[in-house]
Amino acid sequence: MTLAVVGYYEAWWIQILKAIVIFAVALQLVPVVLIAERKIMGRMQGRYGPNRVGPYGALQPLADILKLLTKEQFRPATSVGFLFAVAPLISILTAVAAFAIIPFGDVQHIFGERVGLYGVDVSIGPLYLFAFGAVAFYGIMLGGWSSGSKYSFLGAMRGAAQLISYEVSQGLALVGVIMTAQTLSLTGIVTAQKGMWYVVPQFVGFLIFLTASFAETNRAPFDLTEADAELVGGYNTEYGGGRFASYYFAEYLNVLVVSGIVTTVFLGGWLLPFGIHPPGWVDPFVVLFKMSLITFFFIWVRATLPRLRYDQLMSFGWKVLLPLATLNTLVTAILVVVTH
């Protein structure tokens, strides 16, 4: 059974090696994002951010994670034990799985083999992403529901409505790109951007995708599933210790995944502007640099915008973003037909 059609078959040991490398990279990036967020938000609020643990506070995420992992695992008496334990795993699993399709570079020749610098080049790239995005919602939904707490339940319900509402716009925003590139493969989309990055011709799509991504990753100003002020902690109110750390980890990994997708789809992936063609080993660093820019934007927006009201969130999603995304798709479709 072939899960995904790729242009060639890599040796089994390369696939395993790639999986390990990508998983390790993803795991190492999350603490970096954690400390970066706290430092940058601190600077934006006129303070230093964490600067006590290690040089310039660099070991703060390590201390946080150690603290969380050494805590007792507990659950409320009203919770559904099995689902309560499984829900954070679903969140983290889908985030890591989505990370696998982000292309960090073109096919390279390593050890005499052709190796793609990505987990897997699926021929249905964006659909794979949305499939795991949809499953990720179960992590939040089940976690909130199985907690047996009203705050968690409300957060989960909001999360469900929000994710479904914004996934539509997010998907439609990508349809324009897919039509222009004539391929669903993410590496194909990147190579189709050789002449011009899609952020220019698909600027509206870029804005819609970015906005919807904030809602998809439950980040401010769309972090209504957490909404500390009104829901205590939202779907993760009853979570603590390692399970909470899993949710936390998944959230930041999702930010990275979304940054990677924006980089791939709109910012030309590993391509550099002005016809610069660096050697192949530079490609992952180009992608990581572009990802860090998008991640910085996520943090920047979190430090700037207040949380939306729930009805504002819904009316924005359905009345502004969805019509805009539909219009963008329509106009792109017409343009593609006319120019071909």
- Which positions lie near other proteins, rule CB under 8 A? 40, 42-48, 51, 300-301, 303-305, 320
Determine the 3-state secondary structure of 108 from DSSP.
strand
HSE of 188 in the Cβ direction (CA atoms, 13 Å)? 17
Please tell me the distance from the alpha carbon of residue 7 to that of residue 66, in angstroms, as a whole number. Answer: 43
Q: Are strands 107-110 and 113-116 parallel, antiparallel or unpaired?
A: antiparallel
* Least distance from other proteins to the Cβ atom of residue 66, Å: 24
Q: CB-wise, 293 or 320, nearer to other proteins?
A: 320
Q: CB-wise, 282 or 303, nearer to other proteins?
A: 303
Q: CB-wise, 42 or 240, nearer to other proteins?
A: 42
Report CA Rg, the chain. Answer: 20
* Least distance from other proteins to the Cβ atom of residue 259, Å: 17
Please tell me the distance from the alpha carbon of residue 305 to that of residue 237, in angstroms, as a whole number. Answer: 23
Q: CB-wise, 272 or 330, nearer to other proteins?
A: 330
Q: CB-wise, 57 or 144, nearer to other proteins?
A: 57
- Whether the Cβ atoms of residue 76 and residue 148 lie closer than 8 Å to each other: yes
Q: CB-wise, 91 or 295, nearer to other proteins?
A: 295
Residue 153's alpha-carbon distances to 74, 209, 225, 317, in angstroms, are 18, 28, 10, 22
* Least distance from other proteins to the Cβ atom of residue 262, Å: 17
Question: Cβ of 125: how many Cβ atoms within 10 Å?
Answer: 27
Q: CB-wise, 185 or 211, nearer to other proteins?
A: 211
* Least distance from other proteins to the Cβ atom of residue 48, Å: 5
Q: Which of 208, 210, 216, 212 is nearest to 326 (CA)?
A: 208
* Least distance from other proteins to the Cβ atom of residue 54, Å: 16
Q: What residues does 331 pair with on adjacent strands?
A: none
Question: Cβ of 323: how many Cβ atoms within 10 Å?
Answer: 12
* Least distance from other proteins to the Cβ atom of residue 40, Å: 8
* Least distance from other proteins to the Cβ atom of residue 41, Å: 9
* Least distance from other proteins to the Cβ atom of residue 319, Å: 9
Q: How far out from the chain centre does Cα 270 lie? A: 18
Please tell me the distance from the alpha carbon of residue 280 to that of residue 219, in angstroms, as a whole number. Answer: 34
Q: CB-wise, 33 or 136, nearer to other proteins?
A: 33
Q: Which of 142, 307, 157, 318 is nearest to 223 (CA)?
A: 307
Element at 195 (helix H, strand E): none
